[in-house]
Amino acid sequence: MKSRLLFLWSMVLLFVTAAQAQVTTASINGKIKDEKGIIPGATIVVVHVPTGTISKSSSNETGLYRIGNLNPGGPYKITVTYIGYSPVVKENIYLTLGADQKLDINIQEQGNQLAEVSVKGQKGSAKSGAGTSIGEGQIKTLPTMNRSLQDVTRVTPQGSKDNTFGGTNFRYNNVTIDGAINNDAIGFSPSLGGQSGSSGMPGSSTRTNPVSLDAIQDVTVLLAPYDVKVGNFLGGSINAVTRSGTNDVTGSVYGYGRNASLIGKNKIGDNAKEPSAFHDYQTGFRVGFPIIKDKLFFFTNEEITRRQDPVILGAGSPDGIITLSQAQQISDRMKNAYGLDAGAYGDYNIYS
């Protein structure tokens, strides 16, 4: 009986832990007021313009309102109405992933002559902890070597290569995409940019990305968050959300590549020629469109990567570890004694 209770309690703790650090939405809050003071009972309607999604709320007795579970990004259109007052409309508002944006709105009595209505918005005065938010616009303009999530998270001042933050090993990160955990628990696979290190994410051994950068909409990197919902990490909590279809038909076609002419000469070996066998190409497309306007949408992103690297320090090379004859002896021994094919040696290429 005790063993069963212990097992059930362990499963509960497992699910609670797995549920942490899944930040996929944004929220907005503020105060509705006029020249005399607060306005309780005002109606706030928030419309996500690309999809037509509508969220509603009303100000409480202290004039405060809060609307959560909103899609990151935008633009949003916010309309505030109250009996006896002129409606106030605020457009082109963008929300950051995981942020609780503060937006106070002043309204005027309907009988007054209004020349201009000014609405000022600002982020919440209380910081949620050390971290960085990277929006859709910034992702489009950031330079990138591999079009990977790591190229985006490097804008975090405390970050460095291979997804390490504050000097903490990448295995202590927690990476979520649309709330789903994307951690490489083993972490022995090569990084996207070479044959050593690791990105700490699934698929690293293929030197490509689990999710295309063209499908990512917003990214946040949290290092020391105050929010109790975010946990299960010691290095960094990397949260990303993907794009979705909208009421407009949107898409892109892209292609990137490099070969030996864009990299330096061999630093190992003869140091006299470029590794002509090297190439790294990536191409893909995305498209999104409405199936039922304001209700149902379609989005897809397809990408393919082809990469080839010449082996370094192969058998028989000037600075190689063993000679060709030694490699041949090892291969013959494996085949004759154990019936195993040791594979190629010498100059060959690694293809993925």
Neighbour count for residue 179 (Cβ, 10 Å): 14
Q: What pLDDT is stored for residue 195 in this prediction? A: 43
pLDDT of residue 233: 85
Task: Give pLDDT, residue 272.
Answer: 55
Nearest to 260 by CA among 244, 246, 280, 245: 280
* Alpha carbons within 13 A on the beta-carbon side of 179: 5
Q: What is the pLDDT along the chain (352 residues), one digit of tens a residue?
A: 555 555 555 554 444 444 445 678 899 999 999 888 889 999 999 999 999 999 999 999 999 999 999 999 889 999 999 998 989 999 999 998 888 889 999 998 876 555 565 656 555 445 566 778 888 888 888 888 778 888 888 888 888 766 788 888 778 888 889 888 888 756 555 544 444 445 667 766 666 778 888 999 999 998 888 777 787 788 888 899 999 999 999 999 999 888 888 877 766 555 556 667 888 889 999 999 999 999 999 999 999 988 888 877 778 777 778 888 899 999 999 999 999 998 888 777 888 8
Short-list 128, 77, 75, CA closest to 100: 128
Distance CA 52, CA 329 (A): 70
Q: Which residues pair with 305 in a beta bridge?
A: 282
Q: Exposure of 336 by Cβ count < 10 A (0-12 exposed, 13-18 middle, 19+ buried)? A: exposed
Nearest-angstrom CA–CA distance, 119 and 80: 11
Instruction: Extract the runs of DSSP E, i.e. beta strands, from 135-226.
Output: 159-160, 164-165, 174-177, 180-181, 216-225
CA angle 322, 325, 326 (to 5 degrees): 45
Nearest to 105 by CA among 91, 84, 115, 126: 91
Q: Domains in the chain, start-ordered, CATH in brackets? A: 21-111+118-126 (2.60.40.1120), 139-234 (no CATH), 245-309 (no CATH), 311-352 (no CATH)
Query: Is 58 within 8 Å of 91 (Cβ atoms)?
Result: no
Helix (H, G, I), strand (E, B) or coil at 137: helix
Residue 334 CB contacts under 8 Å (≥ 6 apart), including other chains = 340, 341, 342
Q: How do strand 237-242 and strand 174-177 relate by DSSP bridges?
A: parallel
Pairing of strands 237-242, 159-160: unpaired
